[in-house]
């Protein structure tokens, strides 16, 4: 699987609710040791937010750390949420299905 196959893909929960599209994929360096890099990067969450122009050009709230004015502009594109990887139920060609929260 490639990262590009996840980015921009719509995410729905198993009750059919639209959760947005994948803005990014978060990974933590806590996997098995792999060569010079040390512990491998393991995916732990999908960063999901509203679809639209802001997300398409990479101007996601998750990507803008500062300055404040840029964070404010990025917020216009809507907030982003993280969905833990263990909630992913299925990845199809056109969408990702996750378990509903709670």
Partner 1 sequence: MTDPGGAPAGRRLLLGRQLLDHQIVDQDGRLAGKVDDVELTLPEDRDHGRPVVTALLSGRGALASRLGGPLGRLASVLSRRILPDPCDADGDADPDAPDGRIWFGDVTDLGNHVTVAVDAADLATDAVEQAVRRTFVDRIPGAKEPGA
Chain contacts with partner 1 (rule: CB under 8 A): 1-4, 6-7, 23-32, 34-44, 47, 58, 62-63, 85-86
3-state secondary structure of 47: strand
**Nearer to partner 1 (CB atom), residue 29 or residue 73:** 29
Distance CA 68, CA 80 (A): 17
**Nearer to partner 1 (CB atom), residue 58 or residue 72:** 58
Q: Are strands 10-13 and 96-98 parallel, antiparallel or unpaired?
A: parallel
Distance CA 24, CA 82 (A): 9
CB of residue 81 vs partner 1: minimum separation in angstroms?
14
CB of residue 14 vs partner 1: minimum separation in angstroms?
15
């Amino acid at each position: 699987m490639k990262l590009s196959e996840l980015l921009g893909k719509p995410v729905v929960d198993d009750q059919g609710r639209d959760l947005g599209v994948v803005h990014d994929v978060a990974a933590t360096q806590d996997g098995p040791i792999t060569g010079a890099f040390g512990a491998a990067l393991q995916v732990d969450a999908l960063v999901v937010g509203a679809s639209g122009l802001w997300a398409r050009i990479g101007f996601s709230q998750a990507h803008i750390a500062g300055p404040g004015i840029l964070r404010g502009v990025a917020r216009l594109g809507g907030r982003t949420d993280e969905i833990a990887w263990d909630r992913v139920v299925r990845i199809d060609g056109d969408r990702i299905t996750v378990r509903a929260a709670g």
